[in-house]
Structure 1
Amino acid sequence: MNTIRHHPDDAMLLAHASGHMEAGTSLVLASHLELCEHCRERRRELDALGGLVLDALEPAAMSDDALARTLARIEAGTPPAPARRFAPPPLPPGVEWPAALAHCSATRWRWIAPGMRWSRVTVPESPRANVFLLRMGAGRYLSPHGHRGVEMTQVLYGRFHDGRALFGPGDFDLADGEIRHQPAVQEGSECICLTAVDGRLCFEGVMARLFGVLAEV
């Protein structure tokens, strides 16, 4: 039985399918797709629709040397870097990291506050992408915050409620400049999330502002 209740919208699925999504946010969405059959099926439908649109377009004339120039660009291009083995910080027994992270690297768990730790994730194709893992104990919560940009979160383990809804394993959340929330981990289990921020988180309080700075490093 599928217990995932929160999903990306069609616009995000289309952006991901077309490659028009920033590397960090694309990584979070790919992690969601691994777990969510509903979104995988919806993306297949959107891909098929896009194919029909392309078929309906008038063919565009190409120059005689188009193929030769394309092949020359491929040969002159930088060869892809070898795949990196993801060496993440430890997870609770029975929980697995998303395969989408396999080519990335991550730091050890770093202390933020009692019951709260984080890990920086580095995306090789976009080293400046702001991606991190957040691990919080049961009953812990972040300070209220808003967003200057977009925050995408994929729940890997546990549950949190942010005043809008309850998010559990596999759930996806998008928060933008119109959202101000306070994620609070539910009793009974810690919570681990994968998050990408395109912009900045605007926290309240000294400790909260410290985490905001750390999340941008």
Structure 2
Amino acid sequence: MTEVPTMEPLDIRHHPADDLLLDHASGALSAGMRAVVATHLELCPACQAQVAALRAVGGTLLDDEPAADMRDDALARVLARIDSPADPAAPRKANPPPPLPAGAVWPRALRDASATRWRWLGPGMRWSRVTLPDAPEANVFLLRIGPGKYLPPHTHTGTELTQIIYGRFHDGRALFGPGDFDLADGAVHHQPVVQDGSECICVAAVDGKLAFDGLIARWFGSLVAM
């Protein structure tokens, strides 16, 4: 996917918690969650610095660990894997991202991902399925919701990470704008409402499902595997 110029600094007020940044720094996050956190890091110098500090601490701790025994052929095995031809079953070249409004930046963290065209979800609401090349099973998607529109009230059977790319919404807990990050789980019951003046575009990864209130909303959610 074609990269775009870097945006001006954003007024970011909502960030990943330190434990989530630590999981990202240590490689403990799933691929979908990692992509959303990485998207936030692209926009947030404060969290970039925090991750760098966490990695430095981790490197110091590793230096203090005793050396681990390795197989005699470890180096040869690594070199063989580097020289081996690409897996024919690996995902092909990524599809271009769906069109974004002027001022919206396609995340570099998703540059190798494939994304579908915008699909109808409801009046004033569209979505796009994002497929990560290293984890096609990850539940990652884009939401594009018009001003004044809203998702049905819902909670979560697992964890949902959301990164705002463009626009603003309020979910009853706080106002989220460009660059802001949100984590919601089964303890959160909310209804994101897009603020007047502009549509809102977010990238989200879900470990589990969104549990919508009402039969019709649950039926729509099942159609798009949310």
TM-score normalised by length of structure 1: 0.91
Secondary structure of the equivalent of 1:141? coil
Among candidates 17, 41, 44, match of residue 33 of structure 1 = 41
1:9 aligns with 2:17: yes
TM-superposition CA deviations, 1:152-176 (whole Å, max 9, x none): 1000011111111110000010001
Letter in 2 for 1:21: L
Q: Which residue of 2 aligns with 1:210?
A: 219
Match of 1:19 in 2: 27
Contact residue 91 and residue 133 of structure 2 kept, 8 A: no
Q: Contact (CA 8 Å) 2:139, 2:205: kept in 1 or not?
A: yes
Q: Taking structure 1 as reference, are residues 73 and 90 closer, same or farther at Cα in structure 2, changes over 3 Å only?
A: closer
Q: Quickly say closer, same or farther: Cα 1:207–1:135, change in 2 above 3 A.
A: farther
Equivalent position of 1:186 in the other structure: 195
Aligned length: 217
Give the match's secondary structure for 1:192: strand
2:175 pairs with 1:166: yes
Structure 1's unaligned 5+ residue stretches are: none
Cα distance per residue 1:9-47 (max 9 Å; x no partner): 122222222222111111111111110101100000000
Indicate conservation of the 8 Å contact 1:158/1:191, yes or no: yes
Match for residue 147 of structure 2 among 133, 138, 148: 138
Rounded Cα–Cα distance in structure 2 between residues aligned with 1:198 and 1:128: 11
Once the 2 structures are TM-superposed, how far is the Cα of residue 74 of structure 1 from its aligned partner? 4.8
Partner of 2:51: 43
Secondary structure of 2:204 counterpart: strand
Contact 1:137–1:189 (Cα < 8 Å) also in 2: yes
Identity %: 61
SS in 1 for 2:183: strand
Q: 3-state DSSP class of the match of 2:130?
A: strand
The answer to which of 100-109 and 15-24 deviates more is 15-24
Structure 2: distance between partners of 1:41 and 1:214: 40
| CA contact 1:84–1:102 (8 Å) conserved in 2 | no
Note closer, same or farther for the CA distance 1:101–1:117 as it changes in structure 2 (3 Å cut): same
Which of 111, 114, 117 aligns to 2:120? It is 111
Equivalent position of 1:101 in the other structure: 110
2:70 partner SS: coil
The 8 Å contact of residues 15 and 21 in structure 1, kept in 2 or not, is answered as yes
Structure 2 gaps of 5+ residues are 1-8
Q: Which residue of 1 aligns with 2:204?
A: 195
1:112-153 deviation per Cα after TM superposition (whole angstroms, max 9, x unaligned) = 111111111111211111111101111111111011011010
Deviation at 1:78, TM superposition (A): 5.0
Once the two structures are superposed, the pairs formed by residues 139-154 of structure 1 within 5 Å of their partners are 139-154=148-163
The question of whether the paired residues in 2 share the 8 Å contact of 1:130 and 1:215 is answered with: no
Match for residue 138 of structure 2 among 129, 151, 164: 129
TM-score by length of 2: 0.88
C-alpha spacing 1:71/1:89, structure 2 compared with 1 (3 Å): closer
Q: How much has 1:54 moved relative to structure 2? A: 0.8
Deviates more, 1:82-91 or 1:205-214: 82-91
Match of 1:177 among 145, 165, 186: 186
Q: State the one-letter code of the partner of 1:215.
A: V
Distance 1:11-1:199 versus aligned 2 partners, 3 A rule:
same
